[in-house]
Amino acid sequence: MKDSIFDNIDPAIMERIQKLRLIDDDLMTVVFNGDKKATELLIKILLNRNDLKVTKSMTQVQKHNLFGRSVKLDIVAEDIFKTEYNIEIQRAGSGAGARRIRYHQAMLDNHTLKKKKDFSELPNLYIIFILEHDLFQRGNPIYFVNKTLDIKDEDGLYLPFDDGCNIMYINGDYRGDDALGKLMHDFSTPNADEMYYDELASKVRFHKQEEKGVQTMCKIIEEYGDERAAEALKLGEQKKAIEAAKTFYANGVSIEIIAKSLSMTIEQVKEIINEKEQA
Protein backbone atom coordinates (compact mmCIF):
# COMPACT_ATOMS: atom_id res chain seq x y z
CA MET A 1 0.00 0.00 0.00
CA LYS A 2 1.29 3.42 -0.93
CA ASP A 3 2.27 5.63 1.98
CA SER A 4 0.12 8.71 2.55
CA ILE A 5 1.25 12.14 3.76
CA PHE A 6 0.10 11.13 7.25
CA ASP A 7 2.70 8.34 7.34
CA ASN A 8 5.61 10.66 6.61
CA ILE A 9 4.69 13.93 8.22
CA ASP A 10 6.65 15.17 11.22
CA PRO A 11 4.45 14.54 14.29
CA ALA A 12 5.39 17.96 15.69
CA ILE A 13 4.13 19.68 12.52
CA MET A 14 0.94 17.60 12.52
CA GLU A 15 0.31 18.56 16.13
CA ARG A 16 0.80 22.21 15.27
CA ILE A 17 -1.64 21.95 12.35
CA GLN A 18 -4.31 20.45 14.60
CA LYS A 19 -3.94 23.31 17.08
CA LEU A 20 -4.29 26.08 14.48
CA ARG A 21 -7.32 28.37 14.57
CA LEU A 22 -8.63 30.92 12.09
CA ILE A 23 -7.13 33.65 14.27
CA ASP A 24 -3.72 32.20 13.30
CA ASP A 25 -2.17 33.46 10.07
CA ASP A 26 -1.18 30.01 8.79
CA LEU A 27 -4.76 28.67 8.73
CA MET A 28 -6.48 31.95 7.86
CA THR A 29 -4.30 32.26 4.77
CA VAL A 30 -5.45 29.01 3.17
CA VAL A 31 -9.09 29.24 4.24
CA PHE A 32 -9.80 32.64 2.71
CA ASN A 33 -7.35 32.82 -0.19
CA GLY A 34 -9.34 32.90 -3.42
CA ASP A 35 -12.50 31.76 -1.63
CA LYS A 36 -15.02 34.46 -2.45
CA LYS A 37 -17.88 32.71 -0.62
CA ALA A 38 -15.97 32.39 2.67
CA THR A 39 -14.74 35.99 2.41
CA GLU A 40 -18.24 37.19 1.55
CA LEU A 41 -19.62 35.45 4.65
CA LEU A 42 -16.92 37.10 6.75
CA ILE A 43 -17.57 40.61 5.44
CA LYS A 44 -21.35 40.32 5.60
CA ILE A 45 -21.17 39.39 9.28
CA LEU A 46 -18.59 42.05 10.15
CA LEU A 47 -20.62 44.79 8.44
CA ASN A 48 -24.04 43.31 9.30
CA ARG A 49 -25.08 43.54 5.64
CA ASN A 50 -26.67 41.19 3.14
CA ASP A 51 -26.55 43.34 0.01
CA LEU A 52 -22.98 42.77 -1.13
CA LYS A 53 -21.25 40.13 -3.19
CA VAL A 54 -17.50 39.61 -3.10
CA THR A 55 -15.84 39.53 -6.51
CA LYS A 56 -12.22 39.16 -5.41
CA SER A 57 -10.43 37.65 -2.41
CA MET A 58 -6.70 37.21 -1.84
CA THR A 59 -4.51 36.63 1.21
CA GLN A 60 -0.97 37.67 2.11
CA VAL A 61 -1.01 40.40 -0.53
CA GLN A 62 2.31 42.22 -0.86
CA LYS A 63 2.10 45.96 -1.54
CA HIS A 64 5.52 47.19 -2.62
CA ASN A 65 6.95 50.63 -1.94
CA LEU A 66 10.02 51.63 -3.95
CA PHE A 67 10.81 54.49 -1.58
CA GLY A 68 9.98 53.04 1.80
CA ARG A 69 8.49 50.13 3.70
CA SER A 70 6.38 47.55 1.88
CA VAL A 71 3.49 45.76 3.60
CA LYS A 72 1.90 42.33 3.46
CA LEU A 73 -1.87 42.41 3.94
CA ASP A 74 -3.74 39.43 5.41
CA ILE A 75 -6.94 39.62 3.33
CA VAL A 76 -7.68 41.96 0.43
CA ALA A 77 -11.14 41.80 -1.13
CA GLU A 78 -13.48 43.72 -3.41
CA ASP A 79 -17.27 43.63 -3.79
CA ILE A 80 -19.73 44.38 -6.61
CA PHE A 81 -19.84 48.03 -5.52
CA LYS A 82 -16.05 48.27 -6.06
CA THR A 83 -15.58 48.77 -2.33
CA GLU A 84 -12.15 47.60 -1.16
CA TYR A 85 -11.54 45.63 2.03
CA ASN A 86 -8.38 45.00 4.03
CA ILE A 87 -9.00 42.56 6.88
CA GLU A 88 -6.14 41.93 9.28
CA ILE A 89 -6.08 39.02 11.72
CA GLN A 90 -4.05 40.16 14.72
CA ARG A 91 -3.11 38.08 17.75
CA ALA A 92 -1.28 40.91 19.57
CA GLY A 93 -2.94 44.26 20.18
CA SER A 94 0.41 45.99 19.80
CA GLY A 95 0.25 45.32 16.05
CA ALA A 96 -3.01 47.19 15.54
CA GLY A 97 -1.92 50.76 16.21
CA ALA A 98 -3.44 53.80 14.54
CA ARG A 99 -0.29 54.59 12.57
CA ARG A 100 -0.19 51.10 11.10
CA ILE A 101 -3.75 51.59 9.87
CA ARG A 102 -2.76 54.96 8.46
CA TYR A 103 0.04 53.28 6.51
CA HIS A 104 -2.22 50.48 5.24
CA GLN A 105 -4.66 53.08 3.94
CA ALA A 106 -1.87 54.97 2.19
CA MET A 107 -0.50 51.83 0.53
CA LEU A 108 -3.92 50.63 -0.59
CA ASP A 109 -4.89 54.03 -1.98
CA ASN A 110 -1.54 54.36 -3.71
CA HIS A 111 -2.07 51.04 -5.52
CA THR A 112 -5.72 51.72 -6.35
CA LEU A 113 -5.87 55.13 -8.01
CA LYS A 114 -4.54 55.04 -11.55
CA LYS A 115 -2.55 57.79 -13.25
CA LYS A 116 -4.54 60.89 -14.24
CA LYS A 117 -7.60 59.71 -12.31
CA ASP A 118 -9.33 62.21 -10.04
CA PHE A 119 -9.10 61.73 -6.26
CA SER A 120 -12.90 61.49 -6.15
CA GLU A 121 -12.56 58.14 -7.94
CA LEU A 122 -10.87 56.52 -4.96
CA PRO A 123 -13.18 53.66 -3.92
CA ASN A 124 -14.67 53.29 -0.48
CA LEU A 125 -12.35 51.32 1.76
CA TYR A 126 -12.81 49.24 4.90
CA ILE A 127 -9.81 48.48 7.10
CA ILE A 128 -10.87 45.92 9.68
CA PHE A 129 -8.68 44.46 12.43
CA ILE A 130 -9.94 41.23 13.99
CA LEU A 131 -8.15 41.01 17.34
CA GLU A 132 -7.84 37.93 19.50
CA HIS A 133 -8.76 39.93 22.61
CA ASP A 134 -10.64 43.10 23.54
CA LEU A 135 -8.06 45.79 22.76
CA PHE A 136 -9.94 48.62 24.48
CA GLN A 137 -11.35 46.58 27.40
CA ARG A 138 -14.86 48.08 27.10
CA GLY A 139 -16.75 44.92 26.16
CA ASN A 140 -17.97 46.24 22.82
CA PRO A 141 -18.19 43.67 20.01
CA ILE A 142 -17.02 46.28 17.47
CA TYR A 143 -15.17 49.57 17.84
CA PHE A 144 -15.68 52.09 15.03
CA VAL A 145 -13.28 54.93 14.29
CA ASN A 146 -15.47 57.98 13.65
CA LYS A 147 -13.87 60.95 11.89
CA THR A 148 -15.50 64.34 12.45
CA LEU A 149 -14.96 68.02 11.77
CA ASP A 150 -14.84 70.57 14.58
CA ILE A 151 -18.18 71.88 13.37
CA LYS A 152 -21.60 71.10 14.84
CA ASP A 153 -24.95 70.84 13.08
CA GLU A 154 -28.25 72.23 14.35
CA ASP A 155 -28.60 69.24 16.69
CA GLY A 156 -25.21 69.85 18.27
CA LEU A 157 -23.56 66.88 16.56
CA TYR A 158 -20.15 67.14 14.93
CA LEU A 159 -20.23 66.95 11.15
CA PRO A 160 -18.65 63.80 9.71
CA PHE A 161 -15.36 63.93 7.83
CA ASP A 162 -16.07 61.45 5.09
CA ASP A 163 -12.89 60.38 3.32
CA GLY A 164 -14.38 57.03 2.31
CA CYS A 165 -12.11 55.05 4.64
CA ASN A 166 -13.95 53.11 7.34
CA ILE A 167 -11.90 51.69 10.22
CA MET A 168 -13.15 48.98 12.57
CA TYR A 169 -11.71 46.90 15.41
CA ILE A 170 -13.39 43.55 16.12
CA ASN A 171 -13.31 42.17 19.66
CA GLY A 172 -12.27 38.51 19.36
CA ASP A 173 -13.40 37.85 22.94
CA TYR A 174 -17.01 38.64 22.04
CA ARG A 175 -19.35 35.64 22.37
CA GLY A 176 -22.83 37.16 22.00
CA ASP A 177 -25.70 35.03 20.72
CA ASP A 178 -25.62 36.65 17.31
CA ALA A 179 -23.81 36.20 13.99
CA LEU A 180 -20.69 38.07 15.12
CA GLY A 181 -20.47 36.18 18.42
CA LYS A 182 -20.68 32.87 16.56
CA LEU A 183 -18.08 34.03 14.04
CA MET A 184 -15.64 34.98 16.80
CA HIS A 185 -16.24 31.57 18.37
CA ASP A 186 -15.36 29.92 15.05
CA PHE A 187 -12.18 32.00 14.78
CA SER A 188 -11.07 30.84 18.22
CA THR A 189 -11.63 27.09 18.11
CA PRO A 190 -9.22 24.59 16.51
CA ASN A 191 -12.04 22.03 16.14
CA ALA A 192 -14.02 22.25 12.90
CA ASP A 193 -16.79 20.14 14.43
CA GLU A 194 -17.44 22.89 16.99
CA MET A 195 -17.90 25.64 14.38
CA TYR A 196 -21.24 27.28 13.64
CA TYR A 197 -20.55 28.17 10.00
CA ASP A 198 -20.29 25.23 7.61
CA GLU A 199 -18.52 27.34 4.97
CA LEU A 200 -15.61 27.84 7.36
CA ALA A 201 -15.78 24.44 9.06
CA SER A 202 -15.49 22.54 5.77
CA LYS A 203 -12.34 24.47 4.79
CA VAL A 204 -10.76 23.98 8.22
CA ARG A 205 -11.62 20.28 8.15
CA PHE A 206 -10.08 19.91 4.67
CA HIS A 207 -6.77 21.46 5.74
CA LYS A 208 -6.57 19.44 8.95
CA GLN A 209 -7.94 16.04 7.98
CA GLU A 210 -7.58 15.49 4.23
CA GLU A 211 -4.28 14.53 2.66
CA LYS A 212 -4.11 17.31 0.06
CA GLY A 213 -5.11 19.97 2.58
CA VAL A 214 -2.63 18.78 5.20
CA GLN A 215 0.10 18.73 2.57
CA THR A 216 -0.65 22.37 1.79
CA MET A 217 -0.54 23.25 5.48
CA CYS A 218 2.84 21.55 5.92
CA LYS A 219 4.28 23.60 3.08
CA ILE A 220 2.90 26.86 4.45
CA ILE A 221 4.19 26.18 7.96
CA GLU A 222 7.65 25.42 6.61
CA GLU A 223 7.67 28.53 4.40
CA TYR A 224 6.40 30.77 7.21
CA GLY A 225 8.97 29.28 9.55
CA ASP A 226 11.78 30.16 7.16
CA GLU A 227 10.36 33.64 6.62
CA ARG A 228 10.00 34.35 10.32
CA ALA A 229 13.51 33.07 11.01
CA ALA A 230 14.85 35.43 8.32
CA GLU A 231 12.91 38.33 9.82
CA ALA A 232 14.27 37.55 13.29
CA LEU A 233 17.82 37.41 11.92
CA LYS A 234 17.33 40.71 10.12
CA LEU A 235 15.95 42.32 13.27
CA GLY A 236 18.93 41.07 15.26
CA GLU A 237 21.33 42.50 12.71
CA GLN A 238 19.54 45.85 12.83
CA LYS A 239 19.78 45.97 16.62
CA LYS A 240 23.51 45.23 16.46
CA ALA A 241 24.02 47.99 13.88
CA ILE A 242 22.12 50.50 16.02
CA GLU A 243 24.19 49.67 19.10
CA ALA A 244 27.39 49.91 17.04
CA ALA A 245 26.37 53.33 15.73
CA LYS A 246 25.77 54.57 19.28
CA THR A 247 29.13 53.21 20.45
CA PHE A 248 31.05 54.73 17.53
CA TYR A 249 29.43 58.14 18.06
CA ALA A 250 30.14 58.06 21.82
CA ASN A 251 33.80 57.46 20.95
CA GLY A 252 33.98 60.48 18.66
CA VAL A 253 33.57 58.80 15.26
CA SER A 254 31.96 61.14 12.73
CA ILE A 255 28.43 60.55 11.46
CA GLU A 256 29.69 60.22 7.89
CA ILE A 257 32.16 57.45 8.78
CA ILE A 258 29.56 55.63 10.90
CA ALA A 259 27.10 55.68 8.01
CA LYS A 260 29.68 54.36 5.57
CA SER A 261 30.96 51.67 7.92
CA LEU A 262 27.49 50.32 8.80
CA SER A 263 25.91 50.74 5.34
CA MET A 264 23.44 53.30 6.68
CA THR A 265 22.36 56.67 5.40
CA ILE A 266 23.49 59.79 7.24
CA GLU A 267 19.83 60.48 8.08
CA GLN A 268 19.48 57.05 9.72
CA VAL A 269 22.57 57.62 11.86
CA LYS A 270 21.32 61.07 12.91
CA GLU A 271 17.98 59.57 13.92
CA ILE A 272 19.72 56.93 16.08
CA ILE A 273 21.88 59.58 17.73
CA ASN A 274 18.92 61.89 18.37
CA GLU A 275 16.99 59.06 20.03
CA LYS A 276 20.01 58.28 22.21
CA GLU A 277 20.40 61.91 23.31
CA GLN A 278 16.69 62.25 24.10
CA ALA A 279 16.60 59.06 26.16
What string of DSSP letters covers 2-24? PPPHHHHS-HHHHHHHHH--TTS
Long-range contacts of 51-55 (CB under 8 A, 24+ apart): 52/79, 52/80, 52/81, 52/83, 53/79, 53/80, 54/78, 54/79, 55/79, 55/80
3-state secondary structure 49-64: CCCCCEEEEEEEEEEC
- DSSP code, position 157: P
Q: What is the pLDDT of residue 106?
A: 94
The pLDDT assigned to 130 comes to 97
Residue 214 neighbours by CB distance under 10 Å: 21
Q: What is the pLDDT of residue 205?
A: 96
Q: What is the largest CA-CA distance in the chain?
A: 79
Question: Could you tell me the pTM of the whole model?
Answer: 0.78
Neighbouring residues of 251: CB distance < 8 A, sequence distance ≥ 6: none
Sheet with 142-145, edge to edge strand ranges: 54-63, 71-79, 84-90, 125-131, 165-171, 142-145
Integer Cα distance of 40 and 35 in angstroms? 9
The sign one gets for the Cα dihedral 110, 114, 118, 122 is: negative
CA distance 200 to 42: 9
Q: What is the pLDDT along the chain (279 residues), one digit of tens a residue?
A: 455 556 677 788 888 899 999 999 889 999 999 999 999 999 999 999 999 999 999 999 999 887 788 899 999 999 999 999 999 999 877 788 999 999 999 999 999 988 888 999 999 999 999 999 999 999 999 999 999 999 999 999 999 999 999 999 999 999 999 999 999 999 999 999 999 999 999 999 999 999 999 988 888 877 765 555 455 556 667 777 788 888 878 878 888 888 877 778 888 888 888 766 665
Helix axes 25-32, 198-209, angle to 10 degrees: 110
pLDDT at 189: 97
- Please report the pLDDT score of residue 167 as a whole number: 98
- Its sign, for the CA torsion 43, 89, 218, 226, is positive
Are the CB atoms for 103 and 63 separated by under 8 Å? Answer: no
Cβ contacts of 260 within 8 Å, gap of 6 or more? none
pLDDT of residue 222: 76
- pLDDT of res. 240: 79
- The percent of the chain in helix, strand and coil, each rounded to the nearest 5, is 50, 20, 30
Residues paired with residue 56 on neighbouring β-strands, in sequence order? 78
| Segments in 251-265 forming alpha helices (H) | 255-261
Type of residue numbered 127? I
